A and B are shown apart, each in its own frame.
Chain A
Amino acid sequence: MRLTCPLCGPRDRREFYYYGSEDYLQRPGPDAGPEAWDDHLHLRDNIAGEVRDLWYHETGCSQWLIVTRNTVTHEILSTELVADRKKKGVRA
């Protein structure tokens, strides 16, 4: 499996650290209460098909990537920098 880093180009899977669903970007506020934290830390859609998740280019440019891929076929559909998404003003 290879991921195309927007900065570094196509790279071997071993250069990346997998964190989990992009849900992790929606961090609740400190007072958000147990339901919100449970949702954030534990509950997952866990889709068999197209998902978006977070990968860290650990031995490359040290950027966080949002990777759109298919969990059934392992096909990588697109990659995007978390930093770019934040720049565009989309609430991450």
Chain B
Amino acid sequence: MRYSGWKVITQGLLGNKGWTPAWRDPAPKAEYDAIIIGGGGHGLSTAYYLAKNHGLRNIAVLEKGYLGGGNVGRNTTIVRANYFLKGNSEFYSHSLKLWEGLEAELNYNVMHSQRGLINLFHSDGQRDAFARRGNMMINQGDDAILLDREGVREHLPYLDFEQTRFPIYGGLLHPRGGSARHDAVAWGYARGADRLGVDLIQNCEVTGIDVEGGKVVGVQTSRGAIKAKKVGIVVAGRSSQVAAMAGMRLPIESHILQAFVTEGLKPVIHHVVSFGMGHFYISQSDKGGLVFGGDLDFYASYAARGNLPMVEHVMEAGMTLMPMIGRAKVLRSWGGIMDMSPDGSPIIDKTHIDGLYLDCGWNYGGFKAVPASGWCMAHLMATDTPHEVARRFRLDRFRTGHLLDEEGTGSQHNLH
């Protein structure tokens, strides 16, 4: 069923009885041309573009839980293209362009809102670094405006400009940055893939990867064995476990990242704002909740919940930056399992096993990457060559020394 404003009106008048499920619930077939393990944002977009751009039709996405139950439904939804390094910059630029056409492409309201992202800076050194980053963004063809203190005040009058600890010197405004509705992105790609014939199979945990003579031949699952010519591992925080099924040891450590949402408020924060000193960032959802978060809890973890010290730290950072939010009540906090790589950049690559591909290492920035990651992973799986904008996301770059350490913090998984 095609969605439209007209459909909403007519269905409203007819008691909303005519809506049909957004996707089928098929039983797994015995064999597929391609299997994607993981029904998060990246797995679903990979399946969609495999079908859409490369004409594959016999594809399945295998998800151990429900579609969108992982990080794609747990993140704080910042969408931006403000990367610095060659390799990252063109990839995120490509992703933002795909975001800009996504609703028309998917016939689905993903609530992409380019409300502008402002990264604040608090020292002369930080200003220089942000000016340089802004120039890199412009060189890439994206947009960036360096704001001084008064420029920031025009956009964000509610910040505590007078604080002595971390005075606000200015900010880097990325007007095309913003946010989107996390679930909707997963649902939109799921529905789009289903309409192109992709089987979305939920409650189907992959428990083994079958390899014969150096070539992948299928997977073992909680719903039986399924044969496949090609298999893509797209499981974010669980990448190490699934890759281990094929005898691989990855450069990944899984860490916990928390986020928070307040009760619904009238519109008060109109941008996405990040605090350059306390690692705090905030935006307001369309329902009115203030959505915010901070750093990792810093220790390796698979518990989808965090500990109190980081809760305290995030609240302190928020109060330092914008004391007005102290009046809002926090409704919920939660955590997601992040696939942290040693340089903070992702991996989209073949493995040493023929027909087995890997898409992981998204750290805490993989939401904005959902469209381009799927686009490039599909390209890789269909053509066996890396896509132009993802060609530096190599699995062996750690060994060869071609790191993409955007923040220059060194090869420790929790420092990115």
> What chain B residues lie within 8 Å of A38 (beta carbons)?
251, 398-399
Interface: B166 (CB within 8 A)? no
**Which 7 A/B pairs are nearest by Cβ-Cβ distance?**
A46-B240, A42-B251, A38-B399, A42-B398, A48-B302, A18-B299, A42-B342
Name the distance in Å between B308's Cβ and chain A's nearest Cβ: 8
Instruction: Known A-B contacts: A44-B249, A46-B254. Give 10 more (CB < 8 A).
Output: A13-B309, A18-B299, A20-B253, A34-B400, A34-B401, A38-B251, A41-B411, A44-B251, A44-B413, A74-B307
Interface: A35 (CB within 8 A)? yes
A54 to B400, CA, bound (A): 27
| Contact between chains at A43 and B309 (CB < 8 Å) | no
Q: Given that A41-B342, A46-B254 are contacting pairs, would A20 and B303 also be in contact in the complex, using a CB cutoff of 8 Å?
A: no
A18 to B399, CA, bound (A): 24
| Contact between chains at A46 and B252 (CB < 8 Å) | yes
What is A's interface to B at a CB cutoff of 8 Å? 1, 12-14, 18-21, 34-35, 38, 41-48, 51, 53, 55, 71-74
Interface: B274 (CB within 8 A)? no
A53 (CB) vs chain B CBs: closest residue: B300
A34 to B397, CA, bound (A): 11
Cβ contact of B303, chosen from A18, A43, A74, cutoff 8 A: A74
- 12 example contacts (A-B, Cβ-Cβ < 8 A) are as follows A18-B299, A20-B300, A34-B399, A41-B398, A43-B250, A44-B250, A45-B240, A45-B249, A46-B240, A46-B252, A48-B241, A74-B307
A69 to B301, CA, bound (A): 10
A43 (CB) vs chain B CBs: closest residue: B249
> What chain B residues lie within 8 Å of A14 (beta carbons)?
309
Interface: B412 (CB within 8 A)? yes
> What chain A residues lie within 8 Å of B158 (beta carbons)?
none
> What chain B residues lie within 8 Å of A55 (beta carbons)?
299
A34 to B412, CA, bound (A): 17
B252 (CB) vs chain A CBs: closest residue: A46
| Contact between chains at A72 and B302 (CB < 8 Å) | yes
A51 to B253, CA, bound (A): 12
Could you mark each residue 17-48 of chain B with 1 if its beta carbon is under 8 Å from any beta carbon of chain A, else 0?
Answer: 00000000000000000000000000000000
| Contact between chains at A35 and B303 (CB < 8 Å) | no
> What chain B residues lie within 8 Å of A41 (beta carbons)?
342, 398, 411
> What chain A residues lie within 8 Å of B300 (beta carbons)?
20-21, 46, 51, 53, 71
Most-contacted residue by chain B among A20, A35, A72 (CB, 10 A): A20
> What chain B residues lie within 8 Å of A51 (beta carbons)?
300
| Contact between chains at A53 and B251 (CB < 8 Å) | no
Interface: B363 (CB within 8 A)? no
> What chain A residues lie within 8 Å of B412 (beta carbons)?
19-20
A22 to B389, CA, bound (A): 36
A20 to B301, CA, bound (A): 11
Q: Given that A14-B309, A19-B412 are contacting pairs, would A46 and B303 also be in contact in the complex, using a CB cutoff of 8 Å?
A: no
Q: Given that A51-B300, A71-B301 are contacting pairs, would A46 and B399 also be in contact in the complex, using a CB cutoff of 8 Å?
A: no
Cβ contact of B253, chosen from A34, A35, A44, A73, cutoff 8 A: A44
Interface: B414 (CB within 8 A)? yes
A34 to B235, CA, bound (A): 28
A44 to B399, CA, bound (A): 14
> What chain A residues lie within 8 Å of B398 (beta carbons)?
38, 41-43
A82 to B413, CA, bound (A): 21
A45 to B300, CA, bound (A): 11
| Contact between chains at B253 and A46 (CB < 8 Å) | yes
A36 to B299, CA, bound (A): 24
Q: Given that A19-B412, A41-B411, A43-B249 are contacting pairs, would A13 and B303 also be in contact in the complex, using a CB cutoff of 8 Å?
A: no
A71 to B139, CA, bound (A): 43
A24 (CB) vs chain B CBs: closest residue: B412
Residues 239-276 (chain B) with a chain A CB within 8 angstroms: 240-241, 249-254
Name the distance in Å between B398's Cβ and chain A's nearest Cβ: 4
Interface: B334 (CB within 8 A)? no
Interface: B3 (CB within 8 A)? no
Name the distance in Å between B278's Cβ and chain A's nearest Cβ: 16
A46 to B360, CA, bound (A): 14
Cβ contact of B301, chosen from A35, A44, A74, cutoff 8 A: A74
> What chain B residues lie within 8 Å of A19 (beta carbons)?
412
